[in-house]
């Protein structure tokens, strides 16, 4: 339990993402990982609605297994030119995505859902961060694709790794681009527990 995580029950992270695990660990949020079994439908549409729906599905699939603990589900997509850019299926698709991102702004949308069944807590929100890529030439794109890093990431890059070399500017929450807007998530969680400065939450 801490000021930022005002309850004794560890969080359950309903995600396979090692980056979300790292964000929570580095922020000192006690948690365990239980990947959800959810089919994500990355169809065209409103990006905010898409990520919040996916996050809620992930949390809802795991929450019944841990009714006495808060469960967090999250989703992240890259959105540009009215279309969602998911995880590339091949090196060529990754190269094509990076070519489209080169020298341009795009939006990263994150969705978060926190469910604590025993306390009747349900929190769902979306976060948008805008990212500007440098102009990338063919050799740089090939080198990045050759590293293997783009293949398991939405939009074919990870801002916290080699992908940091591709980014010129970020407007909004950096950790949202990594996979979890942790500051806002914990602020809303504290508010739902009734915590205030110097006062533990209802789960303490």
What whole-number distance in Å separates Cα of residue 192 and Cα of residue 202?
A: 9
The pLDDT value recorded for residue 201 is: 57
What is the 8-class DSSP label of residue 86?
Answer: -
The pLDDT value recorded for residue 200 is: 54
Q: Note if 75 is an active site residue.
A: yes
Question: How big is the chain, counted in residues?
Answer: 204
Q: 3-state DSSP call for residue 84?
A: strand
What whole-number distance in Å separates Cα of residue 70 and Cα of residue 154?
A: 26
The pLDDT value recorded for residue 196 is: 53
The pLDDT value recorded for residue 168 is: 97
What whole-number distance in Å separates Cα of residue 116 and Cα of residue 68?
A: 7
Largest CA distance in the chain: 55
The pLDDT value recorded for residue 86 is: 85
What whole-number distance in Å separates Cα of residue 124 and Cα of residue 142?
A: 38
Q: Are strands 71-80 and 83-85 parallel, antiparallel or unpaired?
A: antiparallel
Domains of the chain: 11-193 (3.90.950.10)
Instruction: Report the chain (204 residues): mean pLDDT per 10 consecutive residues.
Output: 89 95 96 89 80 96 97 96 91 96 97 97 98 97 96 92 96 97 97 70 53
What is the 8-class DSSP label of residue 134?
Answer: P
The pLDDT value recorded for residue 126 is: 98
The pLDDT value recorded for residue 108 is: 97
What whole-number distance in Å separates Cα of residue 114 and Cα of residue 185?
A: 8
The pLDDT value recorded for residue 2 is: 82
User: Is 167:129 a contact under the CB 8 Å cutoff?
Assistant: no
DSSP H helical segments within the chain, as ranges? 18-26, 47-62, 91-101, 138-146, 174-178, 182-193
Selecting among 22, 39, 46, 75, the annotated active-site residue is: 75
What whole-number distance in Å separates Cα of residue 20 and Cα of residue 12?
A: 12
């Amino acid at each position: 339990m801490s000021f930022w995580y005002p309850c004794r029950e560890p969080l359950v992270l309903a995600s396979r993402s090692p980056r979300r695990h790292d964000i929570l660990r580095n922020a000192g949020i006690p948690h365990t990982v239980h990947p959800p079994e959810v089919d994500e439908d990355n169809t065209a549409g409103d990006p905010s609605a898409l990520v919040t729906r996916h996050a809620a599905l992930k949390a809802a699939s795991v929450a019944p297994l841990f009714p006495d603990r808060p469960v967090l589900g999250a989703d992240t997509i890259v959105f540009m030119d009215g279309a969602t850019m998911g995880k590339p299926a091949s090196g060529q698709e990754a190269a094509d995505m990076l070519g489209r991102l080169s020298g341009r702004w795009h939006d990263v949308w994150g969705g978060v859902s926190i469910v604590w069944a025993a306390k009747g807590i349900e929190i769902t929100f979306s976060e948008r961060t805008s990212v500007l890529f440098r102009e990338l030439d063919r050799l740089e794109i090939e080198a990045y694709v050759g590293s293997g890093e783009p293949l398991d990431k939405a939009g074919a890059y990870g801002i916290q790794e080699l992908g940091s070399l591709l980014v010129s500017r970020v407007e909004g929450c950096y950790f949202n681009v990594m996979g979890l807007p942790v500051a806002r998530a914990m602020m809303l969680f504290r508010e739902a527990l009734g915590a205030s400065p110097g006062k533990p939450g209802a789960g303490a």
